[in-house]
Amino acid sequence: MSNNENLDLMQKVISLCKRRGFIYPSSEIYGGYSAIYDYGPYGVELAQAIKREWWRVMVQYREDILGLDSSIFMHPKIWEASGHVKGFSDPLVECKDCHTRSRADHLLEEIGVFADEKMSEGEINEIFKKNMGKVMCPNCKKSDFSAAKKFNLLVQANLGNFTGDWKKEPSYLRGETCQGIYVNYRNILDSTRVKIPFGIAQIGKAFRNEITARQFIFRTREFEQMEMQYFTHPDKEMDEYEKLRENRWQYYLDLGLQEKNLRWKKHEHLVFYAKEAYDIEYRYPFGFSELEGVHARGNYDLTQHSKYSGKDLTYIDHETGERYIPHIIESSVGVSRIMLAVLCDVYTEEKVDNEVRVMLKLPPNLAPIKIAFSPLLRNRSELVKQAKDLFDRFKYKYMCEYDDNGNIGKRYRRQDEIGTPYCVTVDFDTLEKNSTVTVRDRDTMKQERVKIDDLDNYFNKKFI
Ligand code: ATP
Question: Which of these ranges, 28-32, 158-162, 251-255, has the smallest mean pLDDT?
Answer: 158-162
- Is 2 labelled as part of a ligand binding site? no
- What are 75-94's pLDDT values in tens digits? 999 999 999 999 888 888 98
Q: What are phi and psi of 201, to 5 degrees?
A: -120, 145
pTM of the predicted model as reported, rounded to 2 decimal places: 0.93
Residues of the chain with CATH 3.30.930.10: 21-75+171-342
- Predicted pLDDT at 110: 85
| Ligand 1 in reach of 175 Cβ (< 6 A) | no
Residue with CA nearest ligand 1 atom 29: 219
CATH node for 369-462: 3.40.50.800
Quote the ligand 1 centre to 333 CA distance (angstroms).
7
Q: Contact at 8 Å (CB) between 315 and 325?
A: yes
- Given a cut of 80, is residue 403 above it in pLDDT? yes
| Ligand 1 in reach of 333 Cβ (< 6 A) | yes
Q: What are phi and psi of 78, to 5 degrees?
A: -55, -40
Please say whether the structural domain 21-75+171-342 has been given the CATH code 3.30.70.980.
no
Return the DSSP state at 429. Answer: G
Angle at 376 between CA 372 and CA 382, to 5 degrees: 100
- Predicted pLDDT at 2: 66
- Given a cut of 80, is residue 116 above it in pLDDT? no
Please tell me the distance from the alpha carbon of residue 70 to that of residue 68, in angstroms, as a whole number: 6
Residues of the chain with CATH 3.40.50.800: 369-462
Q: Contact at 8 Å (CB) between 330 and 292?
A: no
3-class DSSP state of 200: strand
**Beta strand ranges found along 208-267 (DSSP E):** 222-232, 262-266
- β-sheet with 447-451: strand ranges across: 400-402, 371-375, 422-426, 436-441, 447-451
- Given a cut of 70, is residue 117 above it in pLDDT? no
- What are 208-232's pLDDT values in tens digits? 999 887 799 999 999 999 999 999 9
Helices (H), 40-177: 41-55, 76-81, 84-87, 104-110, 121-130
3-class DSSP state of 117: coil
Quote the ligand 1 centre to 57 CA distance (angstroms).
21
Under the banding of pLDDT at 50, 70 and 90, the label for residue 163 is confident
- Predicted pLDDT at 1: 65
Residue with CA nearest ligand 1 atom 30: 334
Long-range contacts of 243-250 (CB under 8 A, 24+ apart): 244/294, 244/329, 244/331, 245/278, 245/294, 247/57, 248/280, 248/292, 248/294, 248/331, 249/280
Size of the chain, expressed as the number of residues it contains:
464
Quote the ligand 1 centre to 118 CA distance (angstroms).
15
Residue with CA nearest ligand 1 atom 8: 290
Q: Contact at 8 Å (CB) between 385 and 402?
A: no
Please tell me the distance from the alpha carbon of residue 156 to that of residue 174, in angstroms, as a whole number: 9
3-class DSSP state of 426: strand
Residue 445 CB contacts under 8 Å (≥ 6 apart), including other chains: 352, 412
Percent of the chain with pLDDT over 90: 78
- Is 109 labelled as part of a ligand binding site? no
Residue of 219, 329, 330 to test ligand 1 pocket, by largest number of atoms within 8 Å of CB: 219
In Å, what is the CA distance from 25 to each residue of 15, 35, 241?
11, 8, 38
3-class DSSP state of 4: helix
Percent of the chain with pLDDT over 70: 98
| Ligand 1 in reach of 334 Cβ (< 6 A) | yes
